[in-house]
Amino acid sequence: MEVAPGIHRVGTETVVNAYLVVEAGEVTVVDAAISGLYRELPRELAAMGRTIEDVRALILTHGHSDHIGFAERLRTDRGVPVMVHEADAALARGEVPNPSKGLGPTKISPLVRFLWFSAIRGGLRTRHVGEVSSFGDGATLDVPGSPRVILTPGHTPGSAVLHFASQGALLIGDAFATYAVTTGASGPRVAPFTADADEAVGSLARIEDIDADVVLPGHGDPWRGGVAEAVRLVRTTASHPSR
């Protein structure tokens, strides 16, 4: 569905998100969610008046398995280049273990929903990415939408936020989430599976002054209340974990 002018989210649920950004008829995919979401790509592209032939690049916000889902398939079937921040390249290739240290607080029913959502879409069969090209902090990527990269380490060392200024959108991956897949809590908060929560919260100072109409997270609904307000709420919930 369309979540901002020129940006669609793949699929109807917001448990695990992948986004399509179109500019001048060409498409950048941001995050590859769970492998089974691949079969929903053609329909979502068609809703934008595009096809898989129009996809020029896949940008990963970070190297976690619930973001690299169909990346390898898109790369090998369609020759679409896959890009990730250099600090997460080894994670995306499956060469290093996940740096996150556990689940944190959980509630059974949302956690089961997440695991079930992932399992029926092939999340247990995720293939690592054979080849990735990497980018650094501050880069403006030469892909449709020309996003600027802001490194926000904490969730993973190479977690990157992508600012699509022409679309008025900030694609944040798991720099923070608006839905916690482990507890079902909604609203801006530190994402589950974050390796270093203090570092993740600290990194948000790097994005809080950005002016964007919509914030699009890896997990949860779009946030339209401004970046600064979202960051304020993440800080509040981080210092009062019961909220």
For residue 38, the minimal CB distance to Zn ion (Å) is: 19
CB of 121 to Zn ion, least distance (A): 16
> Toward Zn ion, which CB reaches closer, 18 or 45?
18
Find the shortest distance in angstroms from Cβ 15 to Zn ion: 13
| Cβ proximity to Zn ion, 76 vs 98, nearer residue | 98
Q: How far is the CB of 26 from Zn ion (least distance, A)?
A: 27
Residue among 44 and 174 whose Cβ is closer to Zn ion: 174
Q: Which residues bind Zn ion (CB under 5 A)?
A: 64, 174
Q: Compare residues 62 and 235 and give the one whose CB is closer to Zn ion.
A: 62
> In terms of CB distance, is 64 or 121 closer to Zn ion?
64
* Nearer of residues 17 and 237 to Zn ion, judged by Cβ: 17
Closest distance to Zn ion from the beta carbon of 67 (Å): 6
Nearest residue to Zn ion, by Cβ distance, number only = 64
Kindly list the distances between the CA atom of residue 77 and the CA atoms of 74, 110, 166, 176, 191, in Å, as whole numbers in the listed order: 5, 33, 30, 31, 31
Pairing, β 186-189 against β 177-179: antiparallel
> Please, what is the minimum distance in Å from the beta carbon of residue 23 to Zn ion?
26
Distance set, CA 208 to CA 30, 66, 131, 139, 211 (Å): 21, 25, 33, 18, 8
Q: Which two tokens stand for residue 80?
A: 């679409």
